[in-house]
Amino acid sequence: MSDQVSPSEDQPTGLIKSTQELGAGLFLIAVALFFYWQGLDLPRGTLRALGPGMLPLALVTMLGVGGLMMVIYSMLEAGPRLERWSLRGPFFVFGGIILFALLIRTCGLVIAGPVSMIFGMLASNEFRLKEATIFSIAMTVLCILLFKTLLRLPIPVIGTLLEPFFPF
């Protein structure tokens, strides 16, 4: 009798032991390379006089190194297999961002904030309308206080579509 255990379905064999870690690491490396390429034209400057390209370079370097570490980890430790992707999350999150961009000028922050947040929260399987509404209204009030009142940024609170109804 030998002491070796035969590989089962749960124990991956071969070089890659965690396809989920490998996929995530390769994705992070691809994102880092893309944004590195996009920032090539920015002057980096020196460590004494930082240029506008130094921070993006540092961030994509850290992102790429993190991705490389995940790829190496996928070869060392057994982990979960790569599962089928759901498009529900990205659809609702990116949809919320697009909704905000479309509504901010015409309806203002009072409408664009809650609508985009509630739409983005639909990405979760645990979505509850009452909780989402309360949270989005509270966050919108905080955003108005922070960006309009404290920081005095030119963000439209009441958009052009609502100005006739609220002339103040």
Q: What is the pLDDT of residues 30-68, one digit of tens each?
A: 999 999 999 989 888 888 888 888 889 999 999 999 999
Burial class (CB in 10 A: 0-12, 13-18, 19+), 121: buried
Q: pTM for this structure? A: 0.60
pLDDT digits (tens, 9 = 90+) for 89-147: 899 999 999 999 999 999 999 999 999 999 999 999 999 999 999 999 999 999 999 99
Q: Which two tokens stand for residue 6?
A: 């035969």
Residue 93 and residue 71 share a domain: no
Closest by alpha carbon to 42, among 65, 23, 59? Answer: 59
Virtual CA dihedral for 62, 69, 64, 59, nearest 10 degrees? Answer: -10
With respect to residue 92, please indicate whether it lies within any of the assigned structural domains.
yes
With respect to residue 166, please indicate whether it lies within any of the assigned structural domains.
no
Residue 77 and residue 3 share a domain: yes
The residues facing 110 across adjacent strands are none
3-state secondary structure of 72: helix
The contacts of residue 122 (CB under 8 Å, 6+ apart) are: 92
Number of helices (H), then strands (E), belonging to the chain: the values are 5, 0
Domain enclosing residue 34, as ranges: 1-83
